[in-house]
Amino acid sequence: MKGGGLHCHCSKCYSIPVRKRVRKRSPSLTLLALPEEVLLCVLQCLSAEDLLSIRAVHSQLRDIVDNHSSVWARISFRDTWPTHSTLWLFERAAEKGNFEAAIKLGIAYLYNEGPLLSDEGRADVCGRKASHFFSLAEGLRPSTADPFIWVFIRPPWSPSGSCCKAVVFDHLKNECDQNKVTFCGLKIRGPLLHCLARVLQFFEEDEKHSQALSMLEQSSMAGCLQSSYLLWDLNRKTNISDPGRYLQCVRTLRDYAAKGCWEAQLTLAKLCSTGNPLGLETKACTDLVTQFFGLSNAAARSDTQGIKDSMRYILVDWLVEVTTMKDFSSLTLHVTVGCVDRYLALRSVPKAYLQLLGIACMVICTRYVSKEILTIREAVWLTDNTYKYEDLVRMMGEVVSVLQGKIRIPNLLDFGEVLLSLLPLERRTNHLFWYICELSLLYSPLTTPPPAKLACAILLLTRALHHYAPIWPSQVVNCTGFSKEDLVPLLFKNCSHNVPTDYRHVSLTGVKQRFEDEAYQCISKEKVLFSPIFDGSFMATPTAELSNQEETLLGDILDWSLDTSCSGYEGDQEESEGEKDLHPMVDADSREQHCRALSSDDDSLCETDQELVENTDQCISSCANPPSSGYSSVSPSSSCSSSSLIACTFKNLTSSLGSVSANAQPGFRLLVPMQCPKGTSSKQVKRKNKAAHSGGEVDKSDGDSVGFLSL
């Protein structure tokens, strides 16, 4: 076709080129492609070493890290201590608001552990730097938090004159006097004055006490709630004589409690449990106590990480021995164990450093609670020099940083004091209550419930063991919010592992030996009426007062230390040939009489006596070989020694104990006097180890012997 003409549409003259489909590659997603808010969250979760590595990758990452203080404030220095090479990193993070870096730097400079400084003027330089970082750490905490840095600078001070603690005190005092103490625009003069006043209170001079009182007043005016409470406590005795002033004093206490001071809440709960100091209605006064028990939900702890129950038992038992040897209070022990549990709930600790954690917590808590402290060198000696001085100092920094300076929180003893104010007990029963409280520290399953609920359960158990009636009055239910049905499942927590032994195969009985002292009326030597049977879980049925179920609340807390006839040694499993064929026989009338004697309500057994006897008769034949608990007093080998053992199961369960199965195996055996068949002889169980857990053997009796009635 000529030029200018149109081409035809044949395939020769006209064709449309085929387009090749090019597959576009999706851009690779990098860390820089993330939004800046997401990138900040990622960087805040890194450790200090990882953050430095990320910072060196790209200039954009370096700018983000350098220009955002929130990244430095939240990075982790876990298992890292200030050294000459990392000192700049800690100081930068501390200045940006990192609590962990600030507290570790303060402790490192205070004990001269980490930073390399010359001997010339070392105390002055270390004291000045330590005071700076301690003030930074105190300023990073909430305004309602209890100031804590006084724990590290409290007396005793070195008499040589170059004490770093005294230098820290002087520097903090000068800064407070010059009103230069600020952090992020907020003045922290109030908490620091409180710390200085707490330090001065440990001196015996009247001049020091006058200065402490003046500092508390200034701290209270600066807004420190804890200083206001301490002033209230100091003026409390002078206001009791005047009813009007006392009423105003209690109202002031209520205001402090409403602002969040837990010490004021504890004191107010004690006052309202013993009377009505505010002149309120009964329900309003009860609500104040109930609010205090509601704090236990926040104080509940989670399970420890990677620590076996036996490992924790050994650690706590050793801490009990240290407490007894140094004559520390039970409060010191409870606060120490609480710090250990809270640390283990947040950080995992290798088995080799578990004892180091325990003694570090005790060093801190003795300085916080007790007048007499446990020095670092003495603590190292108590570990048989397993750890060094610097190891303990660094662990102290780890503990305080992980706990965010919150050393003392409401514990079992605090709620127990309120309960005993609400429901007073006799002196011996009082010792039994505190004894069970310390026994509960040994058990890992009992660390997770709220301490208020556990305290109520222990009080319920104590009143059941000493036959108080009513066992759980309605007044306590209204004030605590816990009924018997709420507390029964807690008493049957499974703590059925064997008692750990030391390298000499001697059972660990630190709590029992502690309460064998005359100051506690030898309460741990008391022959308790109940002993557990381990079958994987704890079960029980109504015992003495079958109508009210008041004798059924038997805790597994008593499984080791309360029964003085218990032992876990192989020697306890032996028996003589004459003991193998002995099987006690008891008539139905005698059983009915002794079961009735245990009840404080005779009418409660009238309707069930016949059924009780029938159930007992059915069970005697099946109990020739009762299950063993591992203890001599309840093992088959000793079932017919000086104590006649009869296992009788009650099948009828009351509806209020719905959580306990009626068909389950018995979980406790009740020790009741039984008539031994005439003409039978009994022998003691042989013991290979004289240092048994029980501390003694069951005494022989010519007349009535003692038998276990399984309920």
pLDDT band at 436 (very low <50, low <70, confident <90, very high): very high
How does residue 567 score in pLDDT terms, banded at 50, 70 and 90? Answer: very low
Would you say 117 and 125 are in contact if contact means Cβ atoms under 8 Å apart? yes
Query: pLDDT tier at 20 (50, 70, 90 boundaries)?
Result: low
Looking only at the bridges linking them, the beta strands covering 643-646 and 705-710 are parallel
Q: Give the separation between CA 700 and CA 673, rounded to whole angstroms.
A: 13
User: How far apart are alpha carbons 191 and 146 in whole angstroms?
Assistant: 8
* Cα end-to-end distance, the chain, whole Å: 117
Over residues 548-571, the mean pLDDT reads: 38
- Return the SS3 of 646: strand
d(CA 199, CA 222): 18
Q: Are the CB atoms for 95 and 123 separated by under 8 Å? A: no
Tell me: the pLDDT tens digits for 593-629?
444 333 333 343 334 344 433 443 443 333 333 333 3
Q: What's the confidence (pLDDT) of residue 539?
A: 32
The single-letter DSSP state of residue 558 is G
Task: Give how far Cα 139 sits from Cα of 98, 103, 133, 136, 408, Å.
Answer: 11, 11, 10, 5, 19
Q: Is residue 517 over pLDDT 70?
A: yes
356-413 pLDDT, tens digit per residue, is 999 999 999 999 999 899 999 999 999 999 999 999 999 999 999 999 999 999 999 9
Sequence-separated (6 or more) residues with CB below 8 Å from residue 665: 533, 535, 539, 627
Phi then psi for residue 562, to 5 deg, are -80, -30
Q: Are strands 705-710 and 668-674 parallel, antiparallel or unpaired?
A: antiparallel
The average confidence (pLDDT) of the chain is 73
In Å, what is the CA distance from 471 to each residue of 420, 432, 462, 549? 14, 15, 9, 9
pLDDT per residue as tens digits for the range 55-75? 888 888 888 888 888 889 999
Q: What does R_g of the chain's alpha carbons equal in angstroms?
A: 33
Task: Identify whether the C-beta of residue 188 lies closer than 8 Å to the C-beta of residue 135.
Answer: yes
Query: Distance between CA 33 and CA 567 in Å, rounded?
Result: 66
Structure confidence at residue 703 (pLDDT): 38
* Type of residue at 667: G
Q: How far apart are CA 500 and CA 495, in angstroms?
A: 12
Cα 319 → chain centroid = 13
Name residues whose C-beta falls within 8 Å of residue 339's C-beta, 6 or more positions apart in sequence: 361, 364, 365, 399, 403, 407
What would the mean pLDDT of 524-539 be, rounded to a whole number?
Answer: 49
Mean pLDDT for the stretch of residues 194-203 = 94
How many Å apart are CA 302 and CA 551, to the nearest integer?
31
Sheet of 668-674: strand order equals: 530-532, 668-674, 705-710, 643-646
Q: What is the tens place of the pLDDT at every residue in 25-63?
A: 666 777 778 888 888 888 888 888 888 888 888 888 888
Sorted by sequence, the CB contacts under 8 Å of residue 576 that are 6+ apart come out as 683, 686
pLDDT digits (tens, 9 = 90+) for 78-90: 989 998 888 999 9
Question: What was the pLDDT predicted at 605?
Answer: 35
CA distance 667 to 554: 9
pLDDT of amino acid 7: 55
Has residue 660 got a pLDDT over 50?
A: no
The mean pLDDT of 508-519, rounded to a whole number, is 88
Can you give the pLDDT at residue 575?
35
SS (H, E, C) 617-637: HHHHCCCCCCCCCCCCCCCHH
Contact 609, 592 (CB under 8 A): yes
What is the largest distance, in Å, between two alpha-carbon atoms of the chain? 143
26 burial type by CB count under 10 A (0-12 exposed, 13-18 middle, 19+ buried): exposed
Q: Which residues, 6+ apart, have CB-to-CB distance to 253 below 8 Å?
A: 229, 232, 264, 267, 268, 271
pTM of the model: 0.71
Please work out, in degrees rounded to the nearest 5, the angle formed at the alpha carbon of residue 427 by the alpha carbons of 408 and 425.
80
